[in-house]
Structure 1
Amino acid sequence: MQQKDLNADGINELIISSFPAELGNGATGCYGMVGKNMYLLSSEIGAWRNLTGGLGDNALSFEFHDRAAGKMPDIEVTGPGFCFPIHRYSDGEYRSWKVCN
């Protein structure tokens, strides 16, 4: 787990990685070739909210690309291959911005 203030609002977001070994035997099918899933969580009043949904499934890492001050960064989801999708935060959620075919 990593904490980082991604949008300079003074509140850290959480970047969480999960691995099949943490869940026990039989869970490896959910983790694909990379063997790891990633999540980006934001603190809201009394709770945490998953900002990335399933974007981090089978992700090796999230690469953050800064935008204008106060905006959530673009997320490049790295993993196996040569093209990595980029997701942009808009209207309260991350959506595909660059798609790999």
Structure 2
Amino acid sequence: MPVRYATGSRCGVRSGRRRRARTTAASQASGVAPSPRCPADVRVTRDLAYGGDPAERFDVYAPRAGSSGASVIFMVHSGGWKHGDKGVAA
């Protein structure tokens, strides 16, 4: 069964053998693994409008401290433009 991640106010990537084991156990037990937590040094701004439709929203994950020259990753969830939601890919 593929691992599905729960939606919520989390981000980032879990690392470490113990965390991986917990995630694997959770996904096997329920079919849904907990989403990774956002690092403390990341500021999250949610639901910024980018178009005329009220459903057109995106989230920004940025360093809390000013970081000129920081890299930007623009992620677009695929397949589900008609029925999908950005929370599914969170």
TM-score norm. by structure 1 comes to 0.26
By percentage of residues, which structure has more helix?
Answer: 2
Report which of the two structures shows the higher radius of gyration computed on alpha carbons.
2
